[in-house]
Amino acid sequence: MTLRVYNTLSRQIEVFEPISPMKAGMYVCGITPYDEPHLGHARAYITFDCVRRYLEHLGYKVNYVQNITDIDDKIIKKASEEKTSIAAVAEKYSRSYFEMMDKLNVLPASIYPKATEHIDDMIKTVEVLVKGGYAYAVGGDVYFEVRKFKGYGKLSGRTEKAMKAGARISVDERKKDPLDFALWKSSKPGEPSWDSPWGKGRPGWHIECSSMSAKYLGQTFDIHGGGLDLVFPHHENEIAQAEAATGKPFAKYWIHNGFVNINSEKMSKSLGNFFTIREILEKFSPKVVRMFLLSTHYRSPINYSDEDISAVQSKYMTMQEGIDSISAYVDSGAKEKDPADHKGRIDSFRKKFSDAMDADFNTAEAIGVMFELITFAYSLIKKGSRKGLLSDVLMTVQGFGDVLGLDLSETKIPSGVKKLVEDRVRAKKEKDYSRADSIRREIVEKGYVLRDTPFGAVLTGKI
């Protein structure tokens, strides 16, 4: 099967055909670092991390650009509240973001361009738009004239009435139309500013992405991604700016992840159901959080509750126990009773996994295939199949895990715990069952799940 993706722009599934063979340019809207990253950030960046990982798995060379909006009204407000500089706020919360992404096993992007380091690029883009008649200056501000761009609304599919209701409109009677949006904002007292042909000021929110994506990926690139909440007005405005400036299509495929709901309500600070990644990781392993977010197709809404994620935690534990059981069998002295070659079955699982990921990155289905493969492995162990075959199964399921960013390495057992296992085996041989039970309790107290199998004890660390 060929990779197919849902394109928000066309509202249909399309075969993925990049601009350059086996190369993929990918731009995903990054953070505005003014607060701790939250569960919505986790979902978005884990989603696109999987997109990137699967493309690389297929052999594509991926150039992944993710911006950092380090100048914004929210950052300015936060700096005032914390009585510190704007740069200090951006640095503090950017550092927190990278820390959380590292914990969630999100690979670093190819580059993280900062808005403040690309002001000249943005000014040049605005100058092109003014010269082309798509933008107009009013005092020290510059606005994009939406009605001049005929394709406005093609991404979101919104009516003019809906766009006016959903746009971030500042009350400014100088605008020709309420839909017109700021490309450049004149400076206010106490705010950072840069020199421009229109006086001192700073860029609007949307212009940075149009300018920086063009700089690092070219005027037309393959994939633009972000959360569903960015479709309008942010991504709609990006398209208008970029295509008005260049006369070329902006991005070929638009991919958007769905919302996160908390206890069946949309996550929102105003509703008091807002969770940061740091808060969630105090209760659950990063591995579990990642698997939870991948257990629902990225375009569908996902509901978060302690009960929902606890269920995934149990599933992750089951998967880890499978990995440890296969590994223990391969390393054991168990006799190989079944000489049959089941390689064809293993190949069928590889195809099922690829088919799931080719179907618009269906990670939920791909995880299901991993469980099926582990169940199949248990049946092979029960038959006493060849250890080389089980080793192939182990590498296959771990390879699937790598594509999804799920760490499925075998549980590392410290030498002290290994000695306890040996002591328990000895106690059982000597029929000292009281001591054997005592050692088992000690092993469990150290945080391990212990299972006795025909080929020896299997230990799995608690997730």
- pLDDT tens-digit series, residues 266-291: 777 667 778 999 999 999 999 999 99
- 3 state DSSP class of 255: strand
State how far Cα 156 lies from the chain centre: 22
Any idea what DSSP says for residue 234?
A: I
User: 115: which DSSP letter?
Assistant: G
Domain boundaries, the chain: 4-257, 315-404, 415-461
Enumerate residues 6+ apart whose C-beta is below 8 A from 379.
none
> Encoding tokens for residue 230?
């960015």
Mean per-residue pLDDT, 123-150: 97
Give the global pTM. Answer: 0.95
Q: Are 284 and 463 in contact (CB under 8 A)?
A: no
pLDDT at 64: 98
- Strand order in 265-266's β-sheet? 265-266, 260-262, 302-304
Number of H helices, E strands in the chain: 15, 15
**DSSP H stretches of helix in 132-276:** 160-166, 207-217, 236-246
If you average pLDDT over residues 197-226, what whole number do you get? 97
Structure tokens, 112: 């993280």
Query: In this predicted model, what pLDDT tens digit does every residue of 167-184 receive, in sequence order?
Result: 554 557 789 999 999 999
Instruction: Tell me the torsion sign for CA atoms 118, 120, 121, 123.
Output: positive
Average pLDDT over residues 157-165: 76
For the chain, first and last CA: distance in Å?
Answer: 35
pLDDT value at residue 274:
80
d(CA 4, CA 362): 10
Average pLDDT of every residue of the chain: 95
Given the candidates 3.40.50.620, 3.40.50.1000, 3.30.429.10, 3.10.310.10, the CATH classification of the domain at 4-257 is: 3.40.50.620
Say what percent of the chain tops pLDDT 70.
Answer: 98
**For position 30, what pLDDT does the model report?**
97
For 416-448, the pLDDT digits (tens) are 999 999 999 999 999 999 999 999 999 999 999
315-404 in CATH: which number?
A: 1.20.120.640
